[in-house]
């Protein structure tokens, strides 16, 4: 029993990262109506940024977020100006399809680039307190993963506040709701797109940092994380960042439960099956229109 509880707990801790990974994708998809399947590769890049920041500056791994966040924000701005800014000019149906294709090309190119630059080896950040464990009622909680979960939640909460209070946050939400109406009320829709994409990329960078600290990064993690983020977005729907985070926690727990029931290798399958079923039952998919 306590083994099962332990597994579910670890699933919950991992689920926080799923939620964070999905939040960026959800924001970009909800606002730009652009499906960026290179989101997992952006997470991967964030992971490498964190790895090198820690290796070169020797600072605390969690403090590397202070550098990785702005760097990822810049990466997002560059990608929007260079690529996705062209995609949003098309009508909505072409937009989703083209963004899928472009994201796909970007994912392949970034993966190949990462293999060239950093080899295909797995890397992770070793923390001095990496082995520390909290024992609570027979359960052991790895401190690093607990801090990661807390940080993920803090970032999601911060994003929620940003979208609710900040002037441009409101503009982003208005654009997501109805971009034509937003345009008519004088909102610079292109600017809202740019901001949403950059913030989405920054969230991917943060997720990558936490993944590299708690687990590991390699050039090939992209597809897996894109799928996780997609599953959570489908589960949680669009519009609420807190909802997305809860969806991530649910996926983490569901995976752990299925691993306990059917054996470890099938943990990936269960999430994907949920995903396909939800998609087919709601054929209009994520919008639910």
Note the residues at the interface with another protein (CB under 8 A): 35, 37, 83, 86-87, 93, 96-102, 104-113, 115-116, 223, 227, 230-231, 263, 265-266, 268-269, 272-273, 275-276, 279-280, 283-286
Q: For Cα atoms 74, 75, 80, give the angle at the middle one, nearest 5 degrees.
A: 100
Which residues are CB-neighbours of 89 under 8 A, at least 6 positions away?
none
Q: Which is nearer to another protein, 21 or 210 (CB)?
A: 21
Nearest approach, Cβ of residue 35 and another protein (Å): 5
DSSP 2: H
Question: Which of 127/220 has CB closer to another protein?
Answer: 220
CB 205, min distance to another protein, A: 21
Residue 188 or 268 having the CB closest to another protein = 268
Angle formed at CA 144 by CA 258 and CA 130, multiple of 5 degrees? 110
Instruction: State the Cα–Cα distance between residues 132 and 4, nearest whole angstrom.
Output: 21
User: CA–CA separation, 230 vs 223, rounded Å?
Assistant: 10
Non-local (6+) Cβ contacts of 113 within 8 A are none
Q: Between residues 105 and 131, which has the closer beta carbon with respect to another protein? A: 105
Backbone angle region of 285, left / alpha / beta, with phi > 0 → left and psi within -120 to 50 → alpha: left
DSSP code at position 138? T
Q: Smaller CB distance to another protein: residue 70 or 105? A: 105
Q: Smallest distance from the beta carbon of 184 to another protein, in angstroms? A: 27
Taking the complex as a whole, the smallest distance from the CB of residue 107 to another protein amounts, in Å, to: 8
Beta carbon of residue 203, minimum distance to another protein (angstroms, whole number): 20
């Amino acid at each position: 029993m306590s083994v099962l509880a332990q597994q579910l707990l670890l699933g919950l801790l991992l689920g926080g990262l799923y939620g964070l990974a999905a939040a960026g994708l959800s924001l970009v998809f909800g606002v730009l109506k652009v499906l960026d399947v290179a989101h997992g590769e952006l997470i991967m890049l964030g992971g490498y940024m964190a790895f090198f920041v820690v290796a070169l500056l020797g600072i605390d791994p969690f403090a590397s977020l202070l550098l990785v966040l702005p760097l990822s924000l810049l990466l997002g701005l560059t990608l929007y100006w260079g690529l996705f800014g062209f995609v949003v000019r098309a009508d909505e149906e072409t937009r989703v399809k083209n963004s899928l294709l472009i994201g796909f090309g970007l994912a392949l190119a970034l993966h190949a680039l990462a293999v060239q630059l950093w080899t295909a080896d797995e890397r992770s950040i070793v923390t001095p307190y990496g082995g520390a464990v909290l024992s609570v009622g027979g359960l052991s909680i790895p401190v690093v993963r607990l801090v990661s979960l807390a940080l993920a939640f803090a970032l999601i909460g911060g994003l929620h506040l940003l979208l609710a209070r900040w002037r441009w946050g409101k503009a982003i939400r208005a654009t997501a709701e109805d971009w034509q109406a937003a345009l008519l009320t004088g909102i610079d829709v292109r600017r809202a797109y740019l901001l949403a994409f950059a913030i989405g990329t920054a969230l991917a960078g943060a997720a990558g940092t936490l993944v590299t600290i708690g687990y590991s990064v390699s050039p090939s993690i992209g597809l897996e994380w894109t799928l996780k983020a997609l599953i959570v977005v489908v589960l949680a729907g669009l519009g609420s960042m807190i909802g997305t985070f809860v969806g991530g926690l649910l996926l983490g727990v569901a995976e752990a439960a299925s691993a306990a029931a059917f054996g470890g290798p099938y943990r990936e399958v269960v999430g994907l099956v949920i995903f396909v079923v939800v998609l087919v039952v709601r054929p209009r998919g994520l919008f639910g229109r």
